[in-house]
Amino acid sequence: MSYGDYVLTREIAELSGTTKANFYYINSIVRKNIGGISMILKSSIPEKYKKHISKCLDLEKYRTITALENEISTTEGNLYYHIVTSKNMKMPYIKKGRNKFFKLPDEYVKLKKDGLVPFQIKNKEDEKLSEHIVDMYGMKIGFY
């Protein structure tokens, strides 16, 4: 799954001047829920709403904490704790509704698009497994 292929249900509904519920009644729409966030596959959105897609948040470059924790295979709550307690880790974010979407470094996005798998580096052994290492706001992320 590529996050860039999806838009937030809430956001496309607001931009379209309709409700989220409207998108649940359209049978052709493909939905996905991750960490309490409802998303719609862009290609499944009816033509009359497609003009609003370009105004939506680019989910290829942003993740919620829950989605990012799943993606880098870290313990639930570990990344959140790291962000809250670290003086060096100031991740830029955009707030949409009650959720924060954290900006991913460009190198992270590029490696992810290239098909590499990210994971949180916790020790020297993890570093040895990495083909690439990205510094994500004070936290090391390896890719293989």
Which is it for strands 118-120 and 37-41: parallel, antiparallel or unpaired? unpaired
Give the mean pLDDT of 76-88.
Answer: 66
Q: What are phi and psi of 9, to 5 degrees?
A: -60, -45
Give the mean pLDDT of 56-75.
Answer: 88
**The pTM is what?**
0.84
Torsion sign, CA atoms 15, 18, 19, 24: negative
The angle formed by the CA atoms of residues 91, 97 and 101, to the nearest 5 degrees, is: 25
The 10s digit of each residue's pLDDT in 24-47 is 899 899 999 887 899 999 999 999
For residue 89, name the pLDDT band (cuts at 50, 70, 90): low
For residue 136, name the pLDDT band (cuts at 50, 70, 90): confident
For residue 76, count other CB atoms closer than 10 A to its CB. Answer: 11
Single-letter amino acid code for the residue at 25: Y
**Closest to 35 measured CA to CA, from 8, 64, 62:** 64
Question: What is the DSSP annotation of the chain?
Answer: --GGGEEEHHHHHHHHTS-HHHHHS-TT--EEEETTEEEEEGGGS-HHHHTTGGGS--TTSEE-HHHHHHHTT--TTHHHHHHHH-SS----EEEETTEEEEEPPHHHHHHHHTTPPEEE--SHHHHHH-SEEEEETTEEEEE-
The 10s digit of each residue's pLDDT in 95-113 is 998 888 999 999 999 999 9
Torsion sign, CA atoms 97, 87, 135, 35: negative
Residue 82, pLDDT score: 67
Residue 76, pLDDT score: 64
Residue 77, pLDDT score: 65
Residue 85, pLDDT score: 66
